[in-house]
A and B are shown apart, each in its own frame.
Chain A
């Protein structure tokens, strides 16, 4: 049985108010919300897929593509914004060829923006697979990505 089916089986008698919790559990298990799992939830709860998609896109926490091997979170909180996180993000998007919320076609990188990470003193901040980088200017961001790419090539 797929992970999604297991989760739904476990929540057999839940009604439409369980939607967000179910989506969270599915994302936890699969790393993202796939189209197929939206349809599964739709059938399970009797809610139209358009509504589930609407709810899921309303919240920043839900992803619709699998995470990359390297998941980059860019802080877009106020302090980071003042310190230039917008241009750092733009650079990363340009280098990777994806928008925030997406995953590169080779599956190596995924990019996500988050509100404050709580490390304003180090602004602008990013994290790669949970590891924090401080004062990430556009140039520094480029270097971080290129280092990862070089490392991956060697492997």
Chain B
């Protein structure tokens, strides 16, 4: 059908919302509560347009197109209305933007600038609600909240956690946990998907930038490790194209800041695969209760502990890769380099907010030290690079330090949903048959779909696989599993939709394209890699030969494996 926008005829499809059409055609329509791919809520009112024949302005996000619709997107009346909406929102928003953690990423501030809000039209009234700094991963400042509801919808509809919701009414309306309890005692799994959709500074990661700066000047031997999904997203913070791999630049930047060594967590992803594939083989051999769940994702682990404690035994006992690497750095590496492990500080650069929670889990502490001391998100790293005045785009690239700089392509794809599964299948096949897979690429588990099922024949035995991303998909799968409607031997779960490439600690992106580009980049790196299977990683072989012995051995058990516990929360 045809509709008319600002005097121009435009093609639209039956059932489409006006906003989707306008966005596709390149019209600049502001939004604050719009979530791509989800039903509109019409809460924020800044996407209003003038529709011929309608007395009132209409929210374009919730207006289905009809043939012959005549729309004005930037008439003076529309512009004025949008400006008023912004001014009203700012009437109950603290104006301490200078000190706000969200800085230039604030969508409210950007709109205020764009619509020429330069005067305080309405006196600012404080809603007087305390900040919640209780959570290890996420800080909530309800005063900065504009009640767009995106966090609530992501938490409830996408993740099916439902830890936060609107409470009270009128001016007292707020987003809160049940009983206004704090995040740290709630069912929040720290995935940070709420942070990635928050238009203002109301939801932010629990910032560790100062702590890292202090560590760097403490005289300690500070080492950094970076997760697979960081190098393909960090560039966005510096205006580089989506999906550009900035591994070398990032390593150099970290060295320049004063990190004594920079390691690649992908190495430890290979290590995880060796342990996890062995564990899977063992479970299958011993006829353990299927399925085995992956345990790399701390959001997923906490979700299972909180919502399905009866299935804890199905979780792989493997620590997540960066925890494994931390443990190996503070044992094997410390000894090799002659450094007292208590003088080492490990900083993990992660696409994730839940990692900040994971590093403090008491169950992780196998020895006298925490495996990892601090965890930064991709966003925090970008800010740290700016603080240190590094000309990121023009720095000379360099390679990660050995021995934990060597990685396989399999380790790198850990950052995308399906990557862990693909890497595990490559190695499990080798471990069980002694032969490499003829075709390494495992198409069925790739892509951003939330539920992917596949079968693999390994050593004459058919194994049922499932790859889930987005906790809502995981919940549905677990419910079916409990009812016996679903069967699987090995299940990969990542809390964030699409996996770590869409992690809660990744650069704020406005579209799904960023996520798919980041994933594409990971698979490209894999296909270009000489070594594409974890078990062929030479440094890893040396680590087993010189130190660990064999997968699932005594040392592994102590350093690389962990345990889980059912979690009581205030809202369950």
Binding site for B on A (CB under 8 A): 35, 38-39, 42, 47-54, 57-58, 64
Report Cα–Cα, A142/B178, bound state, in Å.
35
Q: Does B571 lie at the interface of the complex (its beta carbon under 8 Å from any beta carbon of A)?
A: yes
CB of B168 within 8 A of chain A?
yes
Interface: B408 (CB within 8 A): no
A35-B179, A38-B179 given; A49·B168 CB < 8 A: no
Known: A39-B571, A39-B572. A48 touches B168 (CB 8 A): no
Within 8 A of A (CB), among B151-203: 156, 161-169, 176-180, 186-187
Looking at the complex, which one of B165, B166, B167, B180 makes contact with A48 (CB distance below 8 Å)?
A: B165
* Shortest Cβ gap from B186 to chain A (Å): 8
A-B contact pairs, 19 of them (CB 8 A): A35-B179, A35-B570, A39-B571, A48-B161, A48-B162, A48-B178, A49-B572, A50-B164, A50-B176, A50-B186, A50-B571, A51-B165, A53-B165, A53-B167, A53-B178, A57-B167, A57-B168, A58-B166, A58-B167
A-B complex: 3 closest residue pairs judged by Cβ atoms = A48-B162, A49-B178, A49-B571
Question: Smallest Cβ distance from A56 to chain B, in angstroms?
Answer: 8
Known: A48-B156, A54-B165. 10 other contacts (CB 8 A): A38-B178, A42-B572, A48-B161, A50-B163, A50-B167, A51-B165, A52-B178, A53-B179, A54-B166, A54-B167
Q: Which residues of A contact B163 (CB under 8 A)?
A: 48, 50
Given the contacts A39-B571, A48-B571, A58-B168, A53 and B176 also touching, CB distance less than 8 Å: yes
A48 to B166 alpha-carbon distance, docked (Å): 12
Q: Which of B164, B169, B571 has the most CB of A within 10 A?
A: B571
| Cα distance, A52 to B572, chains bound together (Å) | 12
Interface residues in B545-572 by Cβ distance below 8 A to A read 570-572
In Å, the complex CA distance between A51 and B153 comes to 12
Chain B residue at smallest Cβ distance from A51: B165
Chain A residues, Cβ within 8 Å of B162: 47-48, 50-51
Closest beta carbon of chain A to B306's beta carbon, Å: 12
Chain B residue at smallest Cβ distance from A64? B179
Q: Are A57 and B178 in contact (CB under 8 A)?
A: no
Q: Do residues B168 and A50 form an inter-chain contact, with CB atoms below 8 A?
A: no
With the chains together, A42 CA to B569 CA distance in Å?
Answer: 13
Cα A51 to Cα B161 in complex, Å, equals 11
Question: A residues within 8 A CB of B156?
Answer: 48, 51
Q: What residues of chain B lie closer than 8 Å to A58, measured between beta carbons?
A: 166-169
Nearest A residue (CB) for B156: A48
Counting chain B CB atoms within 10 Å of each CB, which of A38, A39, A42, A54 scores highest? A54
B169, A57: Cβ atoms under 8 Å?
yes
Q: For A38, what are the chain B residues with a Cβ–Cβ distance below 8 Å?
A: 178-179
Question: What is the CB-to-nearest-CB distance from A138 to chain B, in angstroms, rounded to a whole number?
Answer: 24
CA distance A50 to B178 in the complex (A): 4
Q: How far is the CB of A27 from chain B (nearest CB, A)?
A: 16
Measured in the bound complex, the distance between the Cα atoms of B457 and A147 in whole Å is 84
Cα distance A58–B186 in the bound complex, in angstroms? 21
- 109-168 of chain B: CB within 8 A of chain A: 156, 161-168
Complexed CA–CA distance, A52 and B164 (Å): 11
Q: Least Cβ distance of B43 to chain A in Å? A: 15
CA–CA, A38 to B178, complex, Å?
9
A39 to chain B, nearest CB (A): 7
Contacts of A48 in B (CB 8 A): 156, 161-163, 165, 178, 187, 571
Give Cα A64–Cα B168 distance, bound, in whole angstroms. 13
Please give me the residue from chain A that is nearest to B163 by CB atom: A50
Query: Smallest Cβ distance from B147 to chain A, in angstroms?
Result: 12
A53: chain B residues within 8 A (beta carbon)? 165, 167, 176, 178-180
Contact A50 B169 (CB under 8 A): no
**Chain A residues with CB below 8 A from B169, complex form:** 57-58
Nearest residue (CB) in B for A47 is: B162
Enumerate chain A residues within 8 angstroms of B164, measured Cβ to Cβ: 50
Which A residues lie within 8 Å of B176 (CB)? 50, 53-54
Residues on B with C-beta less than 8 A from A57 are 167-169
